A and B are shown apart, each in its own frame.
Chain A
């Protein structure tokens, strides 16, 4: 088995799509992603000219959203690599734009007419879009991950948060997993050596989608999940979307204040967990930037002393 892994060509190459939130409010997610990608042999390149994916404007003008998404996809097409995102909403918005363009020739032509006239660009429609954590699950796989594990995370109890746009709408992602019972993040957590714990209402939305419109409602949604996770005594929540992180980490103090509770629940991006399992230093993974310090959690991690064979 090992031999086959070695022989098969493994050279995944992607353009990394950061979106709006990551470079400003989740740099630790970006740092840890690049670090683990590098170690696992996933090559990530960059396009500095990317704009917002278009998702936020979908509710105001559907066509404006399609144009913004197509502009980004056109840039990626020029580079000739598939796109991988860190934000689940970016992944959904860009994938959906691809579907619409591929299914509707007239719409595709209209988009290209406007793109070329207004921005001097064109998009042929052939850029594959995925999420970095999906690349870890599908392309890198548990075996390659297992081969890189250098620290013992077995005493960590981590609560996975899938968020919404990572699995839904399932038709968009060719039903890569059951959106009512997803398992990929649990499996990736277990692959890092940590324990993935169950909790009530695991698939609940973070509320980020209504934060700009009604903060009270958004905080109430995030609060309910923090309660459920606390009930099961997790060492941290693990997630894969920077906007979910805004709800659970950046707004955790605010939620504590509004509901007169204390959580101090560390929130980690999955690549940070994986990096720790690979024996990387917390500083290399941007953990200094995590607002809720995972001090106790880090104390529970031990190096694996002797690795046989």
Chain B
């Protein structure tokens, strides 16, 4: 049961203002996205048509706090097939960006942020890796860069105490 009192009619405008979410209002729920979705094929927890419908209705809290928005694999199959050019993977990213801002970032994404902040990469290239590269006659790589940490800090995504503590 959906109660109209709990709906936020501005949610779709909020999404439409976010990079990637611009075309949300074009969706006419044909279901082409869901029919061809490889994630949907293995789990019914993910259903892009349903998520978009919920977002358009204004079910802000349900959408932002849900696990399913993070289940899009960004394969772009629906992006290619959508007759309304809703750009669904980008739309999912727009919703995820809002979720991140409103404090709904899943632990796995927090971990990725910390890795990027610490090393500038998702996987650390340490002395061992570079030693191996030397043996294989491959050019050495810079172990880590502070630049990503700076970017995340300036944008408010990096908290020193969290990384070190």
| B63 proximal to A (CB < 8 A) | no
Of A56, A60, A62, A220, the contact of B157 (CB 8 Å cutoff): A60
B72 within 8 A of partner (CB): yes
Task: With CB as the reference atom, state the residue of chain B lying closest to A223.
Answer: B42
Task: Judge if A161 is at the interface, Cβ distance under 8 Å.
Answer: no
Interface centre among B46, B92, B133, B152 (most CB of A within 10 A): B152
| Residues from chain B with Cβ under 8 Å of A58 in the complex | 93
A57 contacts B141, C-beta separation under 8 Å:
no
Indicate with 1 or 0, residue by residue over A3-25, a CB within 8 angstroms of chain B CB atoms: 00000000000000010110111
Known: A48-B141, A213-B106. A23 touches B42 (CB 8 A): no
Question: Which chain A residues (191-245) contact chain B, with CB distance < 8 Å?
Answer: 203-205, 207-210, 212-214, 217-218, 220-221, 224
- B108 touching A213, Cβ below 8 Å: yes
> Known contacts being A27-B132, A48-B141, A48-B142, is A118 close to B116, with CB within 8 Å?
no
In the bound complex, how far is the Cα of B18 from the Cα of A118, in angstroms? 24
Find the A residue at minimum CB distance from B123: A24
With A24-B125, A64-B157 in contact, is A205–B71 under 8 Å at CB? no
- The distance from the CB of B124 to the nearest CB of chain A, in whole angstroms, is 8
A residues in contact with B100, CB < 8 Å = 59-61
* B150 proximal to A (CB < 8 A): yes
Cβ of A131 under 8 Å from chain B: no
A62 touches B19 (CB 8 A): yes
- B22-30, B47-55, B73-81 - interface stretch: B73-81
In the complex, B58 has a CB within 8 A of chain A? no
B43-71 residues at the A interface, CB under 8 angstroms: 43, 45-46, 67, 70-71
A154 located at the interface, meaning its Cβ lies under 8 Å from any Cβ of chain B in the complex: no
Interface residues contributed by chain B, number (CB under 8 Å): 59
Kindly state the separation between the CA atoms of A63 and B97 in the bound complex, as whole angstroms.
10
Cβ of B2 within 8 Å of any chain A Cβ, yes or no, is no
- Asked whether A210 lies within 8 Å of B71 as measured between CB atoms, the reply is yes
Interface string of B111-146 (1 = CB under 8 A from A): 111001000111111000100110010111110010
The smallest C-beta distance from B20 to any residue of chain A, in angstroms, reads 7
- When distances are taken between beta carbons in the complex, the residues of chain A under 8 Å from B94 are 62
Of the stretches A77-85, A141-149, A164-172, A297-305, the one at the interface is A164-172
Cβ of B39 within 8 Å of any chain A Cβ, yes or no, is yes
What are 9 A-B interface contacts by the 8 Å CB criterion? A21-B123, A49-B142, A51-B121, A60-B113, A119-B150, A169-B79, A209-B74, A213-B108, A221-B41
Q: When the two chains form their complex, are residues A30 and B138 in contact, meaning their CB atoms are under 8 A apart?
A: yes
Specify which chain B residues have a CB less than 8 angstroms from the CB of A217 in the assembled complex. 39, 42-43, 45-46, 71
Chain A residues lying within 8 Å of B18, measured Cβ to Cβ, are 62
CB of A71 within 8 Å of the partner chain: yes
In the bound complex, what is the Cα–Cα distance between A59 and B112 (angstroms)?
Answer: 11
B residues less than 8 Å from A169 (CB atoms) = 76, 79-80
- Are B71 and A118 touching (Cβ within 8 A)? no
Nearest 8 Cβ contacts at the A-B interface: A209-B73, A168-B76, A205-B75, A51-B120, A220-B42, A20-B122, A164-B75, A24-B123
- B148 near A: Cβ within 8 Å? yes
- Across the two chains, which residue of chain B brings its CB closest to A286? B136
Residues in chain B near residue A180, CB distance under 8 A: 80
Q: Does A52 lie at the interface of the complex (its beta carbon under 8 Å from any beta carbon of B)?
A: yes
Q: Kindly list chain B residues whose C-beta atoms are within 8 Å of the C-beta of A205.
A: 38-39, 73, 75, 77
Query: Contact between A118 and B150 (Cβ–Cβ < 8 Å)?
Result: yes
| Docked CA distance A50–B43 (Å) | 37
Tell me which residues across on chain A come within 8 A of B136, comparing CB atoms: 27, 31
Q: B164 an interface residue at 8 Å Cβ cutoff?
A: no
- Bound-state Cα–Cα, A18 to B20, Å: 27
Which residue of A49, A168, A221 contacts B39 across the interface (Cβ within 8 Å)? A221
Interface residues of A in 128-176 (CB under 8 A from B): 164-165, 168-170
